[in-house]
């Protein structure tokens, strides 16, 4: 799957496109069951969640609407700064709506923890989270997440929406970055 001419930028493929597709179908079935007969507003967290949102939304049978929020805590680095900034707010008033936050990754959990309290204060009827990836060993805050695709090791990953300095988002799989790209040490 390295046909996109990545040279030696990647250390390994962690999750293949086929594994992502199968997992999203599984998550979509569980989400459809939970929201049966109810409208759900999917809130995608830009930019990383674009691929998850696009593929998950198409796998759902529920009536959904979509909105987007852009926040940033990483800038160009590989460590969360912990300081969350709103770059784009929702267009929708979520009061009384069933809101499902769609994320690509929960790493330290700081972004999501902040989002949950921010969106929670807007009085949605319900507020849940679906994330494709989570790094349990990197958690700095405890968050309850209803739907998790894959728990992964505490390594910086790219692809399927995830970037390093805005690159690699368009890879169809999730891979780990070679240390020489981000200045880490070989192991």
Ligand X SMILES: O=P(O)(O)OC[C@H]1O[C@H](OP(=O)(O)OP(=O)(O)O)[C@H](O)[C@@H]1O
Q: Which residues bind Mg ion (CB under 5 A)?
A: 74, 163
Q: How far is the CB of 130 from Mg ion (least distance, A)?
A: 18
Single out the catalytic residue among 39, 91, 107, 142: 107
Residue 15, contacted partner among ligand X, ligand HPA, Mg ion, none, CB below 5-8 A by kind: none
Cα dist. 178→12, 75, 182 in Å? 8, 20, 7
Catalytic (active site) residue 107: yes
The residue among 62 and 131 lying less far from ligand X, judged by its C-beta, is 131
Residues forming contacts to ligand X in the complex (CB under 6 A) are 45-48, 72-74, 80, 103-112, 163
- Least separation, in Å, of the C-beta of 160 and Mg ion? 12
Residue 156 binds which entry of ligand X, ligand HPA, Mg ion, none, CB below 5-8 Å type-dependent:
ligand HPA
Q: How many CA atoms lie within 13 A of 46 on its CB side?
A: 12
Query: What distances in angstroms separate CA 123 from CA 83, 103, 117, 126, one per listed residue?
Result: 24, 20, 10, 8
User: Closest residue to ligand X, Cβ-based?
Assistant: 48
Task: Tell me the closest approach of the beta carbon of residue 58 to ligand X, in angstroms.
Answer: 20
Residue 14's binding partner out of Mg ion, ligand X, ligand HPA, none, with CB under 5 to 8 Å set by partner kind? none
d(CA 123, CA 155): 35
CA distance 67 to 69: 7
Residue whose structure tokens are 């009085």: 123
Q: Are strands 40-46 and 157-158 parallel, antiparallel or unpaired?
A: unpaired
Q: Which residues are catalytic?
A: 107
């Amino acid at each position: 799957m390295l046909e996109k001419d990545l040279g030696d930028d990647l250390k390994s493929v962690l999750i293949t496109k086929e594994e992502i597709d199968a997992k999203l179908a599984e998550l979509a079935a569980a989400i459809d069951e939970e929201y049966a007969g109810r409208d759900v507003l999917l809130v995608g967290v830009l930019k990383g969640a674009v691929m998850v949102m696009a593929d998950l939304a198409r796998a759902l049978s529920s009536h959904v609407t979509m909105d987007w929020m852009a926040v940033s805590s990483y800038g160009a680095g590989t460590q969360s700064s912990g300081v969350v900034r709103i770059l784009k707010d929702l267009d929708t008033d979520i009061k009384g709506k069933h809101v499902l936050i769609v994320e690509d990754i929960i790493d330290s959990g700081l972004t999501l923890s902040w989002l949950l309290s921010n969106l929670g204060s807007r009085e949605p009827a319900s507020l849940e989270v679906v994330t494709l990836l989570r790094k349990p060993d990197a958690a700095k805050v405890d968050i309850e997440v209803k739907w998790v695709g894959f728990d992964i090791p505490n390594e910086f990953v790219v692809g399927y929406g995830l970037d390093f300095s805005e690159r690699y988002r368009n890879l169809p799989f999730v891979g780990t970055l070679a240390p020489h790209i981000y200045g880490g040490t070989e192991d």
